[in-house]
Amino acid sequence: MATQTTSPNVRPATPLIRRGLWASKRRREQIVTIISTMIVAIGLIVILFPLVWMLSTSLKTRAEVAKFPPVWIPAIPQWDNYRAALTGENRFDIYFKNTMIYAGGAALGETLSCALVAYGFARLRAPGKNALFVLVLATMMLPFWVTLIPQYIIFARLGWIDTYLPLLVPKFFGSAYLIFLLRQFYKTLPKDYEEAALIDGAGYFGIWWRIIVPLSLPAVGAVAIMSFMFHYQDFMGPLLYINSQYNYPVSIGLQQFRAPFGGTAFHLLMAASLVTLIPPMVLFFLAQRYFIQGIVVTGVKG
Amino acid sequence: MAVQTAQVPAQRKRKPALFGLIPAGKIERREALWFWIFISPWVIGFLAFTLYPIVMSAYYSMTVFNVASPPVWVGFDNYINLFNDRVYWKSLQVTGYYTLLSVPLGIFFGLMLAVLLNQRVPALGVFRTLYYLPALLGGSVAVALLFSWLLNPQFGAINLIIRTLVGPNGLIPLGITGPRWLQDPNWVIPSFTLMSLWGFGGTMLIYLSALQGVPTALYEAAEIDGANRIQQFFHVTVPMISPVILFTFITGVIGAMQQFTAAYVISGGMNLGAPAYSSMFYNLYLFLNAFRRYRMGLASAQAWILLIVILLLTLAMFWASRRYVHYESDEEGAI
């Protein structure tokens, strides 16, 4: 659709010389859009391929997995692999229960504590606040490994090894990243309601609970989901503190995966792995708007 | 994160107490008190789970300590032992190589994808979500296991694709059958890089929102000046989003230096660092010393060196970026 500008004001020279595909700016942009879309679509196939391969492997027979050259698609999908992978020696029912307690508890603790702390930093004025906030941000840079050994020793002395206490208790004291994220959101809220409430004699805690929390529910929800997601996948923490199989979360259970009759049975391993990815995927698709918002806020304004 | 603490002189009515930490006015005092109440969870957590452990970790790093018996002071012996430890140097080299390979590639692909998506691509939301999905799952045990299977030299999908395309009987018969990936010491780090690149949707997301923040007027002006698309990219886009590039670079470096889960899972927890120490990431060796050999003092020294390296690198990156990073005049001032 080349631009048909036949008005006498336009000099006829340019359209006559520059014909063809690149004739108009609009045409050029359309071509760029089409090429970009094609590259992005091909890239998407590449990016999603590993997950497809995971699904395909999980439905193969043991013979198909060990076949050379490998087969792309199993002849008959072996749905029974999923039952075999998740039961028997692998108690994924217990692992999932433990994971839900861990991830749910951690999300609750982090959300609650971060919502409180972020309000202090976003709204209340006190001398030394800015310096303290810089300290909060600085702890984000701190490698987790520096505090790990002394923390381990403290928790070992408390007799908390092989329980979820060392993993859950610290979550009730906030996390720098989520405090930062919520503070950024609180700062965008209008101050009118709070000022009105203050004049009416409301206390700061009441303001936080009755005004700020309801107004920031989307952000608080995003923080809760992010925290849940992180702890659902956490491997390092449970690896250090959890020893017995009946306390394993999904991440450790998967790493310790035992195939019936021994040997690495990749079809069963992939079946179990895929199942563990389903909860985060579902949660992500349901709440992706909040997720993307959260990442963008911290990324750009960081 | 350039922090310009533009300190507004605090309003001092009468006598601010405790070095100005307690304001003079009654209302201000009440507000300051509530500030401390609200942030008290963080303060307690910081003291108990960050500050105290950091100090103790510095102390342990000067001792021989196996948890069972009390620490014995040895001064800088742990640091000297690390300096003479060939595996320790190997772990530094492995981590450095991985960081230098994976971070720039991640930024490159993230930026390229963001630029492509920014060309009025239809169904942007769908693409954005699906590209981000691997970044979300990337740190999990399941994905580490998936890649160890994908990269299996004989039965894995990646070599299957390579053979189908360029193998002896492939579409273009070049006789290439693909490397042995995680089983070949020379290919281990590229394998881990491939795994980390799978999650490049995370950086893409940050760049995409940064690109959408670049004023279109700048591109129009550049176009009038006769700049083509490539010139516009290097002279408008890159300078405008350079603070974001710096941010992703710094967080990328800090993240890559702390690679652990995938390295642990792929070795099955048995032969940490195999083959031939080629996957002996820094923190894997730290973990090995701390929780397999119970050399807590030595491991604390490793952790402290990591802290100092990260600190120096971050400062160096900020310092080096002063010339190249363009900051818009910031209206808001502090943070």
CATH 3.30.300.100 fits B77-321, yes or no: no
pLDDT score of A23 more than 70 = no
Q: Residue B236 and residue A168: Cα distance in Å, rounded?
A: 47
> Which H or E run contains A228?
helix A217-233
Do the beta carbons of residue B241 and residue B207 sit within 8 Å? yes
Q: Domain segments of chain B: what residues?
A: 26-60, 77-321
Counting every residue, how long is chain B? 335
In this structure, the strands spanning B72-73 and B63-64 are: antiparallel
Quote the pTM value: 0.88
Are B240 and B322 a contacting pair, CB within 8 Å? no
Q: Do B261 and A235 touch (CB under 8 A)?
A: yes
Where is average pLDDT lowest: A37-46, A285-294, B271-280, B289-298?
Answer: A285-294
- Higher-confidence residue of B91 and A299: namely B91
Position A297 confidence tier, pLDDT thresholds 50, 70, 90: low
Count the neighbouring beta carbons within 10 Å of the beta carbon of residue A132: 18
Q: Which of A105, A102, A89, A60 is nearest to A274 (CA)?
A: A60
The predicted structure's pLDDT at residue A22: 65
pLDDT band, residue A261 (cuts 50/70/90): low
A-interface mutation test, from B4, B19, B34, B65, most A Cβ less than 10 A away? B34
Positive or negative torsion for Cα A168, A169, A172, A177: negative
- On whether both A161 and A136 belong to a single domain, the answer is yes
**Most confident residue range from B38-42, B116-120, B234-238:** B38-42
Give contacts of B300 with chain A, Cβ < 8 Å: 149-150
pLDDT in tens, B206-221: 999 899 889 989 999 9
Q: Return the CATH number at A124.
A: 1.10.3720.10
Per-residue confidence band for B43, with pLDDT thresholds at 50, 70 and 90: very high
Q: What is the pLDDT of residue B1?
A: 42
pLDDT interval class at B132 (50, 70, 90): very high
pLDDT score recorded for residue B267:
87
Average confidence score pLDDT of chain A: 87
Closest C-alpha among A68, A274, A116 to residue B37? A116
CA A57 to chain centre: 25
Q: H/E element holding B242?
A: helix B238-257
DSSP state of B207: H
Helix axes A129-141, B296-321, angle to 10 degrees: 110
Instruction: Among A29, A51, A82, identify where a domain stops.
Output: A82
- Residue A134 shares a structural domain with residue A70: no
Nearest to A43 among B113, B119, B129 (CB): B113
- The residue-averaged pLDDT of A158-162 equals 96
Higher confidence at residue B256 or residue A290? B256
CA-nearest of A85, A83, A64, A67 to A75 is: A64
Count, residues in chain A: 302
pLDDT at B291: 94
* Residues from chain B contacting residue A119 (CB–CB below 8 Å): 38
Over residues A22-44, mean pLDDT: 88
Section B292-298 average pLDDT: 95
Q: Closest partner residue to B45 among A153, A154, A173, by Cβ?
A: A173
Residues A77, A208: one domain? no
Residues A55 and A164 in one domain: no
Across residues A144-169, what is the average pLDDT? 95
Q: With beta carbons less than 8 A apart as the criterion, state whether A202 and A168 touch.
A: no
> What is the C-alpha to C-alpha distance for residues B44 and B41, in angstroms, rounded to an integer?
5
- Does residue A189 share a domain with residue A133? yes
Residue A189 predicted with pLDDT over 90: no
Residues A59 and A197 in one domain: no
Structure tokens at B204: 């893409």
Between CA B284 and CA B278 the distance in angstroms is 12
pLDDT in tens, B185-204: 999 999 999 999 999 998 99
Identify the domain containing residue A71 by its residue range: 15-82
Average pLDDT over residues B170-180: 87
pLDDT at A3: 45
Q: Is residue A264 part of a domain?
A: no
pLDDT at B332: 43
A14 touches chain B (CB under 8 A): no
A·B CB contacts under 8 A? 287
pLDDT at B98: 97
Domain count of chain A? 2
d(CA B39, CA B31) in angstroms, rounded, equals 12
Nearest of A149, A179, A146 to residue A166 by alpha carbon: A149
Among residues A82, A104, A119, the one where a domain terminates is A82
Interface probe, candidates B3, B26, B91, B155, chain A, greatest A C-beta count within 10 A: B155
A23-32, A101-110, B69-78: least confidently modelled range: A23-32
Judgement on whether residues A109 and A184 belong to the same structural domain of the protein: yes
Compute the nearest-CA separation of B45 from chain A (Å): 5
For the segment B251-270, the average pLDDT, to the nearest whole number, is 91
- Please indicate, yes or no, if residue A271 is contained in any of the structural domains: no
Residue A292 lies in a domain: no
Q: Tell whether A209 is covered by a domain.
A: yes
Q: How far apart are CA B31 and CA A119, in angstroms?
A: 12
Kindly list the residues from chain B whose CB atom is less than 8 angstroms away from the CB atom of residue A238.
Answer: none
**A128 and A38 in one domain?**
no
C-alpha to C-alpha distances, A31 to A162, A207, B117, B227, nearest whole angstrom: 60, 54, 14, 19
Whether residues A151 and A179 share a domain: the answer is: yes
What are the chain A neighbours of B307 within 8 Å (beta carbons)?
A: 142-143, 146
**Which residue, A218, A238, A256, sits at the end of a domain?**
A256
Same domain, A75 and A119: no
Residues of chain A with C-beta less than 8 angstroms from the C-beta of B32: 124-127
Contact A141 B254 (CB under 8 A): yes
Among chain B residues, the shortest Cα distance to A238 is held by B261
Please report residues of B whose CB lies closer than 8 A to that of A284: 129, 133, 136
Q: Are residues A95 and A76 in the same domain?
A: no
Contact between chains at B150 and A50 (C-beta distance less than 8 A): yes
Alpha-carbon distance A231 to nearest alpha carbon in chain B (angstroms):
10
Return the percent helix, strand and coil in chain A, to nearest 5. Answer: 70, 0, 30
Residues 6 or more apart from B60 whose CB is under 8 A from it?
Answer: A149, A150, B71, B296, B297, B300
Output the pLDDT for position B14.
58
Q: Return d(Cα A190, Cα A213) in angstroms, integer.
A: 13
Among A255-259, B51-55, B290-294, which stretch is predicted with the lowest mean pLDDT?
A255-259
| Residues A97 and A69 both lie in one domain | no
Partner-chain residue, chosen from A149, A273, A302, that has the shortest CB–CB distance to B142: A273
User: Does residue A4 belong to any structural domain of this protein?
Assistant: no
Report whether A123 contacts A186 (CB < 8 A). yes
